Structure 1
């Protein structure tokens, strides 16, 4: 019985860490009302080859309507390089037609030079944010549509310049 409690406690700790980590990446805006459909991925995408038929990029449509394309591009990056970093995602999204000037990306390394647990990247698109996250500690790739922050940006905290 004691072992079972330890496992439950460990799982609860992981769950709390995920909630706290996720809360740190939000703008503080209220969550969508239950009547609104969620545009985030409920489960991470495993690094695998993208589907044979790519979703179509439709720049005149909303971010939510282009999320499948955004995710498809990023899944291709992961399939090509399981150790992909921020530049890989930014370059692929730019090649796919997204505006590089509207993108943000976090650093691939921590301030002490260690590999980051995950990299986040975003595109301001049609007044919303297409946000992606990938890394060994994030459970694979995740994509979502989120409202922009009050600053108009998508990511909280320090991002790196996209100067390439």
Structure 2
């Protein structure tokens, strides 16, 4: 009988630990911290949203941080539709969702050697901030964040490709 109580207690303890662990993940965003994050909650990577995209909408009068969940939902839908999506797919989806194409930047899908890039970055300048997305095998999937504008007025560092389609 004592063995049964120990087993029950062990199961209860494991269930409690799992529950606390999952609660901690949902409260604190889960996963390992981003070493490049500035400590600003609006600048941290966000996982794909759990709310259905239909319940979210672009709210231009709100801040970039307040529109991040919508930005993420649009990009998560792109990934769900095509796991091999490149920069154009993200830009086209963001335009279709109401973001202004003239405020967007995207990195190349190809390296200088003509090989597929390990990840693609894309951004929307939004109310003096940047909604930035990154997707690809080197980035561990999709990540979205709000970042400050660079001194150049751009969102992405380095050479970007023209969005001329």
Smaller-chain TM-score bracket: 0.7 to 0.9
Higher helix proportion (structure 1 or 2)? 2
Q: Structure 1, residues 48-101: CA drift from partner, whole Å, max 9, x if none?
A: x97263312101100000000000000000000000000000000001000000
Partner Cα distance (1:37, 1:52) in 2: 22
Which of 38, 44, 47 is the matching residue for 1:40?
44
Q: TM-score scaled to structure 2, two decimals?
A: 0.73
Alpha-carbon RMSD across the aligned residues, in angstroms, is 2.3
Alpha carbons 1:54, 1:72 under 8 Å: kept: no
Alpha carbons 2:53, 2:73 under 8 Å: kept: no
Alpha carbons 2:71, 2:94 under 8 Å: kept: yes
- Larger relative contact order (CA 8 Å, sep ≥ 6): 1
**2:56 aligned partner:** 55
Gapped runs of 5+ residues in structure 1? 1-14, 24-30
Answering whether residue 148 of structure 2 is matched by residue 147 of structure 1, we say yes
Rg larger for: 2
Partner Cα distance (2:64, 2:134) in 1: 16
Aligned residues: 133
Gapped runs of 5+ residues in structure 2? 1-31
Partner Cα distance (1:52, 1:63) in 2: 17
Partner Cα distance (1:136, 1:121) in 2: 15
